[in-house]
Structures are given as C-alpha cells and as structure tokens.
Amino acid sequence: MDESIENLPKNIIKSEMKRKNVSSKEMCDLLKKESERLVETSFNNKLSRGGFSAVFFIKCMKVLKVKEIKL
C-alpha cells in the first residue's frame, strides 16, 4: 500500500487540529461528546499507530467542525 495514503487519515487529523489550534487534551475532551473515552496519551498513541476506524476519523472531523476534506 502507498505509505502516503496509509498516513493520510492521521495527517488530516493532525493538520486540522493544528489549523484549529486544538491540543490533544482538548481533542480528548471534544471526543467525549462522541462517546470516545480517551486520555491524551492513548489519543496520541492511536494517531501514531494510525490504526483507527473510519468512524473514529469521522468523529474527529465532526468535533473539529470540518465540513469538507480535499484529497
């Protein structure tokens, strides 16, 4: 698999967090509204591994209020 495609979801999350000036801790707090119970360390580990579902990705985009993604 093309490594850039494999890393795309986590890179999108990281870039949107940076663009919106949202820290990992703040992201965990926002994700609680979407029934995700993560602490900062587990969130960062999840992003580093890149092993998360499409549902988790959509939840991240929702709490960051991202309406459109350009690939």
Residue 40: partners with Cβ closer than 8 Å, 6 or more residues away: 24, 25, 28
pTM: 0.90
pLDDT for 40:
95
pLDDT of residue 70: 85
* Residue whose C-alpha is closest to residue 47's, from 1, 15, 71: 15
Q: What is the pLDDT of residues 1-40, one digit of tens each?
A: 556 888 999 999 999 999 999 999 999 999 999 999 999 9
Residue 50: its pLDDT value, please? 83
